[in-house]
Amino acid sequence: MKEKQEQKIGVVKSFFSKINVAAIALEADLKIGDKIRVKGATTDFQQKVASMQIDREEITEASQGDEIGIKVKERVRPNDFVYKI
């Protein structure tokens, strides 16, 4: 059985519950279509990145050092880790 390789790519900075968007500080590159896992003390889910924004501008990819907003399917919390799978 092949083990999925997870790479830590960022940390959740904040969560906007009205619009289900997580603000994430990136430590590695990320693009639309990538599959991510958000994991923390009470958080653990996977999803595909469907949309990303920087300063409310739609983008298709982001780089290390960027702070991005992505739509998430569940509540996330500050300091949850984000992994690319």
Query: In 3D, which of 24, 6, 5, 25 has the Cα closest to residue 65?
Result: 25
Q: What's the pTM?
A: 0.92
DSSP letter (8 states) at residue 27:
S
Token pair belonging to 11: 């940390």
Q: What is the pLDDT along the chain (85 residues), one digit of tens a residue?
A: 555 689 999 999 999 999 999 999 999 999 999 999 999 999 999 999 999 999 999 999 999 999 999 999 999 999 999 999 9
Phi-psi region of 56 (alpha: psi -120 to 50; beta: other; left: phi over 0): left
The structural domains of the chain, ordered by start, are 7-84 (2.40.30.10)
| CA within 13 Å, CB half, 26 | 19
pLDDT digits (tens, 9 = 90+) for 7-30: 999 999 999 999 999 999 999 999
